[in-house]
Amino acid sequence: MIGASISRWTMSYFAMAVGWLLAAQAIMVAGFGFPAADIASPDTLVLVHVVSIGWLSTAMCGGLFQFVPVLTAKPLFAEKWALPALGLLTAGLTTLLAGFLALGGRLPDGLWLLPAGAFLLVAGFGLIIVDLGLTSWLRPTGPTRFILVGLASLCATVTFGTVFAVALVSCSGSTCATMLDAGVPLHAIAGVGGWLTLTAMGVSYRLLSMFMLSPDVDDRTSGTTLLAGALATAVAVAGGIIAVALSSGMNVILSIAAALGLATIALYGRDVIAIFRARRRRQLELNIRMAALSFVSLGGTALLGVMLVLTGNFAAHVGAFVYLVVFGWLSGLVLAKLYKIVAFLTWLETYGPVMGRSPTPRVQDLVAEERASKWFVTYHAAVWVGMLMLLADQPSAFRATAMAMAIGTIGIVREVVRTRRLADVADPLRLPGGAREPHLLFARN
């Protein structure tokens, strides 16, 4: 990444995303939505979209605005779109959430907010998909191919979501209800699997190699993993639409998609182990050790899914399964990478301009890993115990684990803010001749 320009609004995306994560945790601690309410209830839809759009999608997009130009060695197609897109996503999500509250009868006469929120989200995600898609297209190799498949899946997710939002206000009757019911798993698989998981995998190849000084995974090898993942998403989405149109059951399609999903996780595991084995940096930094915990959650997800299917309990415990995917695997990985990326970008922004002219600190001098590690461990332990409480149908104990998860997250966020403020850099090196303190919420590029 050295030599690449710094994306001005990545920090703003990260800050907004973290705000939504804390909001989601407050919602869980308060006992709003699943598991206190039904998994398909409007209250749960509020929680699901605060996490999937507010936290994970916003953090991912912020990271990609920095990362895609580095991967392609080309500037973004339209740098200027990043901030309006963030505004549209935030306004769209807030409106959509109000629409869900209206759907649940908590806001009177507000059903129109559902399509209004959807259209704002289409505009925001649309700008991001065109901007990142056209830039990635310039060099479709390695991780960039994962990003392209991820963006295509985001298109499918947003399209499904918009159709649902319009259908919920404009169409009643049993045919519509059946189609909505059948479509929700396809929307969820395209979003959590195709968009978030495949993009996270693609980005992780590069970040792991970079921060462990490992050679990049060969394109053909990672291409097999991507093929399995892309097929899993395509089978679920296209096969699912055909199954809905023919009014046939969804079981065969979802079983094929699940088998391909398992193959994707196994192949990804193979690639990650190869990166670890080939590393030249023997001492693992905290972000890598914590990313490893999220890989454990990903493996745990595969195991849990297989066990639940074999025992005929998948439908009853789908909430615990999704919880582990979203908080153990995806959020765990994003938090670990956020911790490192903020340090790295802050270091580049502050010390890049004076490098060679004054002594500067190392990237690692911006962080206090020992202090931060306890917050990460708290976070992951809370997620794992929380998942067990969901399996055991213990909603009150689950809320206590959500509280512990929030405490871990607040600890991590505090560390990241300290990094951005250069609070752990000793004074003579902190701002050497001419270096300027970075702004907390955006980069001065």
Distance CA 122, CA 53 (A): 12
Instruction: Name the minimum Å distance from CB 390 to ligand HEM.
Output: 14
Residue nearest to ligand HEM (CB): 161
Q: Which is nearer to ligand HEM, 69 or 117 (CB)?
A: 117
Question: What is 88-154 written as a DSSP string?
Answer: HHHHHHHHHHHHHHHHTTSSTT-TTHHHHHHHHHHHHHHHHHHHHHHHHHTS--HHHHHHHHHHHHH
Specify the residue, 33 or 386, whose C-beta has the smaller distance to ligand HEM: 33
Distance in Å, CB of 38 to ligand HEM, minimum? 8
Task: Give the shortest CB-394-to-ligand HEM separation in angstroms.
Answer: 20
Q: What's the closest the beta carbon of residue 233 comes to ligand HEM, in angstroms?
A: 12
Check if the beta carbon of residue 324 is closer than 8 Å to that of residue 299. no
Q: How many CA atoms lie within 13 A of 416 on its CB side?
A: 25
Residues 6+ apart with CB under 8 A from 250: 182, 185, 240, 243, 244
Q: How far is the CB of 186 from ligand HEM (least distance, A)?
A: 10
Least distance CB 240 / ligand HEM (angstroms): 14
Cα 107 vs. chain centroid, distance in angstroms?
Answer: 29
Shortest approach of ligand HEM to residue 246 CB, angstroms?
20
81/128 Cα distance (integer angstroms): 8
Q: Between 135 and 199, whose beta carbon lies closer to ligand HEM?
A: 199
Q: Is the CB of 128 or the CB of 228 nearer to ligand HEM?
A: 128
Residue placing its CB nearer to ligand HEM in the complex, 5 or 162:
162
| CB-nearer residue toward ligand HEM: 174 or 283 | 174
| Closer Cβ to ligand HEM, 214 or 301, answer by number | 301
φ, ψ for residue 368, nearest 5 deg: -120, 85
Q: 243 vs 345, which CB is nearer to ligand HEM?
A: 243
For ligand HEM, the closer CB: 56 or 366 = 56
Smallest separation (angstroms) from ligand HEM to the CB of 165: 4
Binding residues for ligand HEM, rule: CB under 6 A, are 39-40, 44-45, 48-49, 52-53, 57, 96, 118, 121-122, 157-158, 161-162, 164-165, 168, 180, 184, 187-188, 191-192, 195-196
Tokens of 33: 């939505």
Q: How far is the CB of 389 from ligand HEM (least distance, A)?
A: 18
Shortest gap between Cβ of 205 and ligand HEM (angstroms)? Answer: 21
Cβ atoms of 184 and 237 closer than 8 Å: no
Neighbouring residues of 332: CB distance < 8 A, sequence distance ≥ 6: 290, 291, 293, 294, 297, 379, 380, 383
Tell the residue number behind the tokens 């994306």, with chain if given: 7
By beta-carbon proximity to ligand HEM, the closer residue of 65 and 195 is: 195
The 3-state DSSP class for residue 58 equals helix
Type of residue found at 16: M
Nearest to 113 by CA among 78, 52, 165, 163: 165
Non-local (6+) Cβ contacts of 365 within 8 A are 424, 425, 426, 429
Q: Which two tokens stand for residue 434?
A: 């001419």
Of 268, 70, 93, 81, the closest CA to residue 165 belongs to: 93
